[in-house]
Amino acid sequence: MVTANLVRTVVAIIGNIISACLFLSPVGTFVGIWKKGSVEEYSVVPYLATLINCMVWTLYGLPMVHPNSSLVLTINSAGCVVELIYIILFFFFSDRPQRLKLFLCLFLELIFIAVLSLFTFTFLHSFNNRSALVGTICILFNIAMYASPLSVMKMVITTKSVEYMPFFLSLASFGNGVSWTIYALIPFDPFVAIPNGIGTAFSVAQLILYAIYYKSSKKQIAARKAKGEGEVNLSEGVGGNSVQDLHNNKIGAASNGL
């Protein structure tokens, strides 16, 4: 017989798998950083933001804070490890000023989680109070993270192109949000349901934008390629590769901005 607890566990396992895929999605970026020996124009901010988010959720998933949340604990603990690896790699391949800023931000995050943990276990003596405090902070951090794609969505509407909004990442975010929202409804856990419900809504909006602007994106890319071929022919006729080199530099700059 299928029970509510069984459904909840299965959904949470699916959520763990999708979340793990999202955590591992930047691996290609860091392989490139390793090969080039430089972080170039990449920003460490998304990884620092994900780390603090995972640390707070790890605290929430502890049995002493919110019992029966082991699968919340496992995936966010794994997320902490993965994000720390990214940040360490970023540290080694950054210049001295970037390293100092990174160290300061990481130190402040660790101080924050230490103070929050100390306060939670020292002054709050019931599961409800601990869950309420840590869960509220989790909601704030999660909403901030889910709201980050708004700038990309604005760019999509402005440019009428989804070139810089990967479809599979949006689809994975949707699956992740749905999984954890269902998990939070059996039984109802508002601290998991609210941010993931909002995240699901943002993901749906991204998928709708993708459907609306997919064709116009293809047309823009085709037009740009045609223009590029014309520039190649012109540069060869005038003498030299300067136009083509400039074109390649523009493509490289756009790629580094992803």
Angle among Cα 207, 210, 215 to the nearest 5 degrees reads 155
pLDDT tens readout for residues 47-76: 998 899 999 999 999 999 999 899 999 999
How much is the pTM?
Answer: 0.78
All structural domains of the chain with their residue ranges: 4-215
pLDDT tens readout for residues 160-169: 888 777 788 8
Q: Three-state secondary structure along 156-197?
A: HHHHCCCCCCCHHHHHHHHHHHHHHHHHHECCECHHHHHHHH
Sign of CA dihedral 115, 118, 99, 57: negative
Dihedral in degrees, nearest 10, Cα atoms 229, 231, 237, 243: -130
Q: What is the pLDDT of residue 167?
A: 83
- The pLDDT-based confidence of 255 (bands split at 50, 70, 90) is very low
DSSP H/E element including 67: none
pLDDT tens readout for residues 32-42: 889 989 888 78
Cβ pair 61, 55 in contact under 8 A? no
pLDDT exceeds 50 at position 257: no
Q: Please give the DSSP secondary-structure letter assigned to residue 41.
A: T
Q: How far apart are CA 63 and CA 66, in angstroms?
A: 5
Q: How far apart are CA 231 and CA 246, in angstroms?
A: 10
Distance, CA of 108 to chain centre: 20
Q: Residue 61 corresponds to which tokens in the numbers above?
A: 């998933």
